[in-house]
Amino acid sequence: MTRWRTTIAAVVFTTGLAAAQPAHAAYLGDAGWGALTVLTNVVYMPAKIVYATLGGITGGFAFGLTGGDLQTAETVWVASMGGTYVVTPNMLQGQEPIMFSGIPSSATTTAETNRAVEEQQLTGTELR
């Protein structure tokens, strides 16, 4: 009876070894992308922070110099302060976009808004 148990255990063990797959060293590739990401962020993050800071200041000046036109200031602020601040490995691999500048949500420009306000004043109608 002991011999059958030993034989079955040997067969199970041998089958397990035959079905085993060798381990893949994917961690080396991940480590490489991680190191490249760190090196990229050493340059990218300070540049983005300087750009966003200058854009914030410029948007403040735009707000003051246009007599409080918030749309103009917001356009500058969103374009300069929006976007990606930290680059990830997926961005470097092309799976996600890197957006240095933000995209203003409003499709209308200040000139179009001013034109619509002038038309409203001339015709006495409300903006839609």
pLDDT tens, position by position, 70-125: 999 999 999 999 999 999 999 999 999 999 888 887 644 556 666 665 666 666 55
Q: Which residues contact 69 (CB under 8 A, 6 or more apart)?
A: 62, 63, 110
Q: pLDDT of 28-72, one tens digit each?
A: 778 888 999 999 999 999 999 999 999 999 999 999 999 999 999
Domain residue spans of the chain: 44-128
pTM of the model: 0.60
Spatial separation of the C-alpha atoms in residues 52 and 42, rounded to whole Å: 16
